[in-house]
Amino acid sequence: MPETLLKVEKLKKVYESSTGSVEAIGDISFEMRRGELVCIVGPSGCGKTTLLKCIAGLLAPTSGVIELDGQPVTSPPPNMALVFQEYGRSLYPWLTVRGNVELPLKHKKLSKQERAQLVDDALLAVGLDHAGNSYPWQLSGGMQQRVAIARAVAYQPEVLIMDEPFAAVDAQTRADLEDLVRQLHRDRGMSLLFVTHDIDESVYLGERVIVLSKSPTWVQEDLPIDLAPERDQITTRALPRFTELRTHVYEQIQRAKRGEAVRPTA
Ligand code: ADP
Ligand code: MG
């Protein structure tokens, strides 16, 4: 299998509407290897969600190419799963937790038993093995987000894309969910593309952090995160290197917001 999983080349996206056009993405190029955990940060409105929608085949680029496994993405790829910020709305209230997690598996050729096993494993992985028969509305926000993650995990995607998935949960839950993401990456070898506006989160989670400029967007920096793969909330965040990296990303974002960074000419 080729080492490059995802390739984004000269991606441009202009939204056209009756009130005019918005150039959300100017020119974004980057690559992601199989099994990598890449975080994307950038100022609000810089086109992060637009980028993910293009990668997920939900939105057609104005120009440029997106390739997954060497194939151009023109519709939602079967080996990709998405977790959005508004997880509450992505769960079906009339289905139990199990029912929600199982639903996408019905499109796969699996026996009933295999499906049940995948659901069990996924619920266990997110610490919800006791809540299978509950309904989403009986759960806290953090637990609902775990259901959304379990659904993506049970589906066993090659690549998992997350768009500011923890923006609406409390700090403790957020820390737990961050560790869950690290664990999924490490134990299951899942490739993860994680969008956040939280700088500390991007450094804590990522093996690489891609900093986007403000619109029309380009890649302002592609920063390797040279922290050890074994991370934990207390010791990792207390490392001098963690502080250096977060300060660096913070400064880049400030420059991005002010539009100070000068785009290199190709
Ligand atoms: P981010 O996720 O980084 O906050 P978005 O991708 O949501 O940014 O939006 C990037 C830009 O594109 C913003 O200026 C936003 O207003 C605009 N935009 C997003 N979606 C649409 C749309 N459907 N139609 C027109 N403009 C849009
Ligand atoms: Mg967004």
Ligand 1 site, residue 46, Cβ cutoff 6 A: yes
Going by pLDDT thresholds of 50, 70 and 90, the confidence category of residue 173 is: confident
- pLDDT per residue over 208-239, tens digit each? 999 999 988 999 999 999 999 999 999 999 99
10, 63 Cβ separation under 8 angstroms: yes
Mean pLDDT taken over the chain: 92
Give, for ligand 1, the residue of 16, 17, 49 to mutate: max count of ligand atoms closer than 8 Å to Cβ: 49
For residue 220, the model assigns a pLDDT of 95
- Rounded to two decimals, the pTM is 0.92
Residue 256 binned pLDDT confidence (cut-offs 50, 70, 90): confident
Location of each CATH 3.40.50.300 domain in the chain: 1-79+158-266
Which ligand is nearest the CA of 43, by number? 1
Tell the residue nearest (CA) to atom 25 of ligand 1. Answer: 15
Question: What's the pLDDT tens digit per position in 58-68?
Answer: 999 999 999 99
Alpha-carbon dihedral sign for residues 178, 152, 193, 215: negative
Confidence of residue 86 (pLDDT cuts 50, 70, 90): confident
At 1, the pLDDT band (50, 70, 90 cuts) reads low
Instruction: Please tell me the predicted confidence (pLDDT) of residue 111.
Output: 93
φ/ψ region of 69 (left if φ > 0, alpha if ψ in -120 to 50, else beta) reads: left
* Cα 53 to middle of ligand 2, angstroms: 10
- Beta-carbon count within 10 A of 176 CB: 16
Residue with the larger pLDDT of the pair 207 and 265:
207
Average pLDDT over every residue of 45-62: 95
Which residues, at least 6 apart from 96, have a Cβ–Cβ distance to it below 8 Å? 132, 133, 134, 135
For residues 175-195, give the mean pLDDT.
Answer: 91
Question: 106-130: string of b/e by CB count within 10 Å (b at 16+)?
Answer: eeeeeeeeebeebbeebbebbebee
Q: Measured from the CB, is residue 216 less than 6 Å from ligand 1?
A: no
The whole-number average pLDDT for the span 182-196 is: 91
Rounded Cα gap, residues 105 and 115, in angstroms: 7
**1-79+158-266 to CATH, choices 3.40.50.720, 3.40.50.300, 3.40.50.150, 3.20.20.70:** 3.40.50.300
Distances (CA, A) of 259 to 11, 42, 76, 132, 220: 20, 12, 33, 48, 10
Which ligand neighbours the alpha carbon of 85 most closely?
2
pLDDT tens-place string over residues 37-48? 999 999 999 999
Q: Residues 140-149: what's their mean pLDDT?
A: 89
Q: Is 53 in the pocket of ligand 1 (CB under 6 A)?
A: no
pLDDT, position 266 = 58
- The pLDDT of residue 31 is above 80: yes
Atom of ligand 1 nearest to the CA of 44: 4
Give the whole-angstrom CA distance, residue 70 versus residue 172: 39
**Exposure of 57 by Cβ count < 10 A (0-12 exposed, 13-18 middle, 19+ buried)?**
middle
pLDDT tens digits, 12-28: 999 998 989 999 999 99
> 219, 64 in Cβ contact below 8 A?
no
Q: What is the pLDDT of residue 201?
A: 96
18 lines ligand 1 (CB under 6 A): no
195 lines ligand 1 (CB under 6 A): no
Tell me how far the alpha carbon of residue 146 lies from the centroid of ligand 2, in angstroms.
20
Confidence band, pLDDT 50/70/90 cuts, at residue 253: very high
For residue 89, the model assigns a pLDDT of 76
- Does the beta carbon of 113 sit less than 6 angstroms from any atom of ligand 1? no
Phi then psi for residue 18, to 5 deg, are -65, -25
Ligand positioned closest to the Cα atom of 59: 1
Q: Is 70 a pocket residue for ligand 1 (Cβ < 6 Å)?
A: no
Query: Across 18-119, where does the E strand assignment appear?
Result: 20-33, 37-41, 63-68, 71-72, 80-83
